[in-house]
Amino acid sequence: MENPKRKIDPIDASLAKPAKVRNVPGIRYTAAEIYEIFRRFSIQRPEPKGELEHVNPFTLLVAVVLSAQATDVGVNKATRALFKAADTPEKMLAMGEAKVGDYIRTIGLWRNKAKNVIALSEALIDQYGSVVPPDRDELVKLPGVGRKTANVVLSMAFGQSTMAVDTHIFRIGNRLGLAPGKTPEEVEARLMKIVPSEYLYHAHHWLILHGRYICKARKPDCPACVIADICKAAEKTSEIPAPLVPLPPQVF
């Protein structure tokens, strides 16, 4: 009998298994389904971008440190003025903790974050010649920098394919059964294994934006979802995928 899902979906004509992807034991999706999920994300958002404003690797690092438990919009509001005043470790250190605190007071946990920004500026000057190291093992030694922050910086500043698992990616990995895991590290490891290599660089942005705007925590917007026919989440409310069209740049 013909699969009814195939009838309603003219956009999955390419569901033939690509030669380069393989099935991974323990994942609820076939290699062909995973390939199709990311193929659709790539059409919807051909050039996904992070939303944190920055002018160089150092300000990106600071912005990501400030974004823990805060929204990108809130961080951008504070950093526009901060980065105009200080866009290098030297200028940030010269500014001092109290002044940095004045700029970022609207961001949650600002006292501790101001302390970390000064400490990491000092560490960059003392140990790395004021240059942000393009290396995860070195990045995580800096104050306030964890694995997720390091992955964001490696991807956005240095073009490395990483999977920075935030709350959205963690939720999607588990909700969809795409990369189930008890910790962000487990979800990261599984995603790094299953995402087809040609889609790996943009994958974390696609997943973050999908989680932020469509597959939301409280109520996923399944009628607006381009992978609704493939998704195996228990919560899903639609089997019909949304039209697969590139989104305008300002609409994530």
Q: Look up residue 199 and give its two tokens.
A: 């889609």
Cα angle 121, 124, 126; round to 5: 105
Which of 141, 166, 182, 216 is catalytic? The answer is 166
Shortest CB 116 distance to ligand SF4, Å: 34
Active site residue 115: no
Q: In terms of CB distance, is 188 or 229 closer to ligand SF4?
A: 229
Active site residue 148: yes
Shortest CB 250 distance to ligand SF4, Å: 21
225 annotated to bind ligand: yes
231 annotated to bind ligand: yes
Return the HEC string of the chain. Answer: CCCHHHHHCHHHCCCCCCCCCCCCCCCCCCHHHHHHHHHHHHHHCCCCCCCCCCCCHHHHHHHHHHCCCCCHHHHHHHHHHHHHHCCCHHHHHHHCHHHHHHHHCCCCCHHHHHHHHHHHHHHHHHHHCCCCCCCHHHHCCCCCCCHHHHHHHHHHHHCCCCCCCCHHHHHHHHHCCCCCCCCHHHHHHHHHHHCCHHHHHHHHHHHHHHHHHCCCCCCCCHHHCCCCCCCCCCCCCCCCCCCCCCCCCCCC
Which of 84, 148, 193, 221 is catalytic? The answer is 148
Shortest CB 164 distance to ligand SF4, Å: 19
Shortest CB 229 distance to ligand SF4, Å: 8
179 annotated to bind ligand: no
Residues that bind ligand SF4 (CB under 6 A): 176, 214-215, 220-222, 225, 227-228, 231, 233, 235-236
Q: In terms of CB distance, is 34 or 214 closer to ligand SF4?
A: 214
196 annotated to bind ligand: no
Q: In terms of CB distance, is 148 or 175 closer to ligand SF4?
A: 175
Q: In terms of CB distance, is 81 or 240 closer to ligand SF4?
A: 240
**Which residues are tagged catalytic?**
148, 166
Indicate the annotated binding residues for [4Fe-4S] cluster. Answer: 215, 222, 225, 231
Annotated binding site, which residues? 215, 222, 225, 231
